[in-house]
Amino acid sequence: MGKLIIILSMGVSIIISILIISLNKNSEIGLQGTINSFVNTQTRLIANSGVEIYLEKIRRNKTLMGNYLNNTLMNGNYDIYIHGSDSLLTIKSIGHFNGNSHTTIVKAKRDAIIVPDVNSALYVSSNNLNINLHGNIDINGNDHDIDGSEIPGFPLPGIGVDTQADSAYIIDNIKSKINNSIQGAGGAPSVGVVQDTTNWLEISENFIFAADITLSSGTYSTGSVFGTKSEPLITYITGDVHFTGSAYGYGILIINGNLEMSGNFTFHGLVIAYGQSSVETKTTGNSGIIGAAIFVGNSIDMQATGNAKIYYSTQAIDNLKAKIKSSRFKILSWWE
């Protein structure tokens, strides 16, 4: 009987040992499965995050292309490969974590910048206008090339306003010697009511989101360049600004504040000055705008002296429409 008990005890011990060993193995397998799942998930997150990070970089740097390797993230790293055109951009991200790799490939298309049509060389929209023009100021709604020479084309008003009362106010307050300096549709002085339904404040916000250059208030003089003919840019300035000397630019210029231009500063494209309260614009010397200007505010105080000019130019507008890049993307496909 005692031997039987010993044999049974030994048998039970062996069975329990086998069960413990089996349980340990299952535990190890379960733990390893959990670890593998974590590693795979982490690697995938790193790869996908790499795409998101570089989409934001491309939004801010619109010429970003090439290979960017060994970027560290979440205790791992990722490699980025960017190629293609704005109409079909490919971003490949390979995430690495704990010896594991995951590849994500995204195809995207850059949205186009929407630039509304302009209705005059200078559009002024305000509940309170104060226009003070002197000297040889030249506001011309006849078409010009991008360098400012008049060319055949469909003429627009030199100055466009919202109401007949605004038109009458400007005409009544223009000195007689300035009349012939405001050219365009309808003859001098070319001041007319235009049907401009564009929400320029909303449009400005869209442009600001895509800005290539963002500056604070101040004076910008000779040596300052805000885009070129071959690469026009969106420039956004918060606060009052003074452009002077031989500074120049091409593209879209947005000022949330007062605008002063002097010296030989010339901007080729679209200039928007706006404010929630008042906007003061001063144009002196040989400075000017070739393209179109939009001044919008509850109160507009416009002063111009010297040989300042504002010329309508379809070439300048078309140039920026064709070449300026948006900061928004449409994802066409996401493969991983």
> Which residues 6+ apart lie within 8 Å of 221 measured at CB?
243, 244, 245, 247, 263
> Which residues 6+ apart lie within 8 Å of 38 measured at CB?
none
pLDDT, mean of residues 183-204: 88
Residue 13 has pLDDT above 60, yes or no: no
Give the CA dihedral 230, 235, 241, 242, nearest 10 degrees. 0
3-state secondary structure of 16: helix
> Which structure tokens are listed for 264?
């030989």
Q: What is the pTM of this model?
A: 0.79
User: Quick one: pLDDT band at residue 25, thresholds 50, 70, 90?
Assistant: low
User: Quick one: pLDDT band at residue 17, thresholds 50, 70, 90?
Assistant: low
Residues 220 and 144: beta-carbon distance below 8 Å: no
> Would you list the domain boundaries of the chain?
2-110, 122-323
Residue 22 has pLDDT above 70, yes or no: no
Residue 109 has pLDDT above 60, yes or no: yes
3-state secondary structure of 118: coil
Residues 148 and 139: beta-carbon distance below 8 Å: no
Render pLDDT for 282-333 as a digit per residue (tens, 0 to 9): 677 788 899 999 988 777 777 777 778 899 999 999 999 999 988 888 899 9
> Which structure tokens are listed for 278?
């008042």
Query: Mean pLDDT over all residues of the chain?
Result: 85
233/212 Cα distance (integer angstroms): 6
Which CA distances in Å does 49 have to 41, 44, 54, 73, 74? 12, 8, 9, 9, 10
> Which structure tokens are listed for 309?
């000019």
Residue 71 has pLDDT above 60, yes or no: yes
Exposure letters 86-123 (e unless 16+ CB within 10 A, then b): eeebebbbbbbbeeeebebbbbbbbeebebeebbbbbb
